[in-house]
Amino acid sequence: MLSSDEIKHFEDYGYLAKSNAFDPQEVIDPIIKEYEGVLDNLANILFKQGTITSTYESLEFGERVTSIYEESKQIHNQFFDFSLPQKGITKDTPFWAGPAVFNALVNPDLLDIVQSIVGTEIASNPVQHVRVKIPENRAPRDSEGNVMYGATPWHQDLGVVTEEADQTDMLTVWFPLMDTDEENGCLQVLPGSHTGEVMTHCPGAQGVQIPGVLLASDTARAIPLKKGDILLLNKKTIHSALPNMSSRIRWSFDLRYQPVGQPTGRNNFPEFVARSRSNPSTELRDATEWAHMWEATRNRLANEEDPSYNRWDPEHILCA
């Protein structure tokens, strides 16, 4: 669990980088193996469609996914994600809720660290993603020449959920599946920015973002991490991701936890009890059941109008 000094650093600055948070061979290597199968499936689908001329099966994961994205001129991250998109869900919308991913969400070492901040009754918040970012010089671009899935703009994690979660004690746990640095797009934070309010966010090509006129980003601190390290973020800490200017992918998990019973800010998606010291029988430990929860959510939302998750007005004066 976190030391008192580490907890104080998190409380004072709104973030904490924790080295060797868990065994990467136990947590990350099975995820990589699992995603190799997901990529196989994607490659075969695109090849049969004629979207790509090769499945690139001889390449390692990073170069293979880069080659597939590059040739297809599209981003296919939804095949890997363990969440659903905010709109346009159909019964065929792809996602991946595999056992290795689930085991990472409930890893005891990780939950010990989360418990230091959130307490003993921990819910897994469904605002969670895997992010595979290929090198920007090979990435697909939109009609205006912008990288389709590039650098993440400055934002607060509270800014991407609905107002009902404003009082939720939400904790972000971010970790790479391979070493990250400033060249391949590690995160950067504004230390101490969590003490302010939820700032205005504006819709953008890479997601909602805080207008530059509200930021003093000259205080930004980049946070390189090794495989097995994690970054903890307060829900109001302003942060972003640098562009991937390297020749390798940047691959990461973005998880959120909170006390059981508090609003998630995305109540149409399934949460679950990851740890309960008071009532252990409520803990979810069945990866198949977790996958079924997401399948049921997809099937339900495919037959409903898209819910509204965005609290921000694109016509706001700061968004012009």
Q: Dump pLDDT digits (tens) for 61-72.
A: 999 999 999 999
Average of pLDDT values for 21-30?
A: 97
| Domain membership flag for residue 30 | yes
In total, how many domains does the chain have? 1
| Domain membership flag for residue 314 | no
Measured between alpha carbons, how far is 36 from 142 in angstroms, rounded to an integer?
Answer: 27
The DSSP call for residue 118 is H
Confidence class for position 218, pLDDT limits 50, 70, 90: confident
| Domain membership flag for residue 192 | yes
Measured between alpha carbons, how far is 304 from 124 in angstroms, rounded to an integer?
Answer: 24
pLDDT at 284: 98
pLDDT at 101: 98
115: containing domain: 4-305
Considering only 161-170, 205-214, 236-245, which range has the smallest mean pLDDT?
Answer: 205-214
Confidence class for position 216, pLDDT limits 50, 70, 90: confident
| Domain membership flag for residue 141 | yes
pLDDT at 309: 83
Q: What is the CATH number of the domain that holds 22?
A: 2.60.120.620
Average of pLDDT values for 214-223?
A: 88
Q: Report whether 132 contacts 139 (CB < 8 A).
A: no
Q: What percent of the chain has pLDDT over 70?
A: 100
Q: Is 205's pLDDT higher than 80? A: no
Confidence class for position 310, pLDDT limits 50, 70, 90: confident
| Domain membership flag for residue 104 | yes
Measured between alpha carbons, how far is 240 from 102 in angstroms, rounded to an integer?
Answer: 26
| Domain membership flag for residue 179 | yes
- Give the H/E segment covering residue 18: strand 15-18
Q: Dump pLDDT digits (tens) for 248-275.
A: 999 999 999 999 999 999 999 999 999 9
Measured between alpha carbons, how far is 150 from 186 in angstroms, rounded to an integer?
Answer: 12
Round the average pLDDT of the chain to a whole number and report it. Answer: 96
Confidence class for position 217, pLDDT limits 50, 70, 90: confident
Measured between alpha carbons, how far is 127 from 83 in angstroms, rounded to an integer?
Answer: 7
| Domain membership flag for residue 54 | yes
Q: Report whether 98 contacts 287 (CB < 8 A).
A: yes
Confidence class for position 215, pLDDT limits 50, 70, 90: confident
Q: Is 18's pLDDT higher than 80? A: yes
pLDDT at 173: 98
Tokens representing 14?
């709104």
Q: Is the dihedral of CA 94, 288, 128, 230 positive or negative?
A: negative
Sheet with 239-241: list strands edge to edge: 221-223, 187-189, 239-241
Q: Dump pLDDT digits (tens) for 71-89.
A: 999 999 999 999 999 999 9
pLDDT at 311: 86
Q: Dump pLDDT digits (tens) for 98-130.
A: 999 999 999 999 999 999 999 999 999 999 999
Write the single-letter amino acid at 17.
Answer: A
Confidence class for position 204, pLDDT limits 50, 70, 90: confident
